[in-house]
């Protein structure tokens, strides 16, 4: 699998994970991740906690974060 294929897989996985989040929840998730906040006390955390696979469920892998940015931009910018 090359890098482009890996990114496509990550994008798809993140898109599926956040599909049930409202736009406000998605924006909150993105802000929390990008600012490095603790997501575990957020109401949307249970829906996407498996995306936080580092630091005891507090952090996303950098590739997952990049995929999240792509998903957020596509969804919120239409």
Exposure string of 42-54, with b = 16+ CB inside 10 Å and e = fewer, is: bebbebbeebbee
Q: Which residue has the tokens 């469920």?
A: 57
pLDDT-based confidence at residue 76 (cuts at 50, 70, 90): confident
Mark out the alpha helices in the chain (DSSP H runs). Answer: 3-18, 23-35, 45-48, 62-76
Domain tally for the chain? 1
Q: Which residue has the tokens 């490095």?
A: 36
pTM higher than 0.95: no
**In which domain, by residue range, is 43 found?**
3-76
Which tens digits make up the pLDDT trace of 34-59? 999 999 999 999 999 999 999 999 99
């Amino acid at each position: 699998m090359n890098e482009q294929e890996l990114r496509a897989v990550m994008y798809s996985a993140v898109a599926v994970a956040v599909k049930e989040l409202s736009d406000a929840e998605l924006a909150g998730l993105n802000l929390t991740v990008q600012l490095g906040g603790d997501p575990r006390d957020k109401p949307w955390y249970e829906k996407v906690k498996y995306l936080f696979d580092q630091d005891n469920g507090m952090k996303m892998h950098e590739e997952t974060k990049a995929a999240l940015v792509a998903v957020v931009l596509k969804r919120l910018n239409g």
